Structure 1
Amino acid sequence: MSKNIKKENLPQKICPICNRPFAWRKKWEKQWDNIKYCSDKCRKQSRQEKQNDKKHAP
């Protein structure tokens, strides 16, 4: 990312858990391609859903 980018022009993604858009952050600069969730809460909720799916599988 270049230094003089306005906030309106930052890349965005949609969180698969809460379906809200979230924008690029400086702390995510090196791993933006790997970021999937907008927050730790959504990331943890995703893990819980996966565990629940395994429990209810036949």
Structure 2
Amino acid sequence: MHKKPFLPSKVCMTCNKPFNWRKKWQRNWDHVRYCSERCRRQKESNQTDSYVNDTKTM
């Protein structure tokens, strides 16, 4: 049996996978959007890539 079965969870905005609350996020859980640093960085690069692609088509 798990010791912490009722932790809050969210869905990552980049990979769309569920992730659970972590102690390091306890102060800013409301602002957490990504499951990992990798997903956060990937999301930022995807936004800049789409901007570059949009400007090329103009």
Using structure 2 for the length normalisation, give the TM-score.
0.84
Q: Which has the higher helix share?
A: 1
Of 11, 20, 24, the residue aligned with 1:14 is 11
In 1: Cα distance, 2:18 partner to 2:4 partner: 14
Equivalent residues in 2 for 1:21-36, closer than 5 Å: 21-36=18-33
Cα RMSD (Å) of the superposition?
Answer: 1.0
Equivalent position SS for 1:13? strand
Greater radius of gyration (CA): 2
Report SS of the residue matched to 1:48: helix
Instruction: List structure 1 runs of 4+ shifted beyond 2 angstroms.
Output: none
Unaligned stretches of 5+ residues in structure 1: 1-5
* TM-score, length basis structure 1: 0.84
Which moved further from structure 2: 16-25 or 30-39? 16-25
Question: Match of 1:3?
Answer: none
Q: Which runs of 5+ in 2 are unaligned?
A: none
Count of aligned pairs: 53
Percent identity between matched residues is: 43
Separation in structure 1 between the aligned mates of residue 33 and residue 18 of structure 2, nearest angstrom: 11
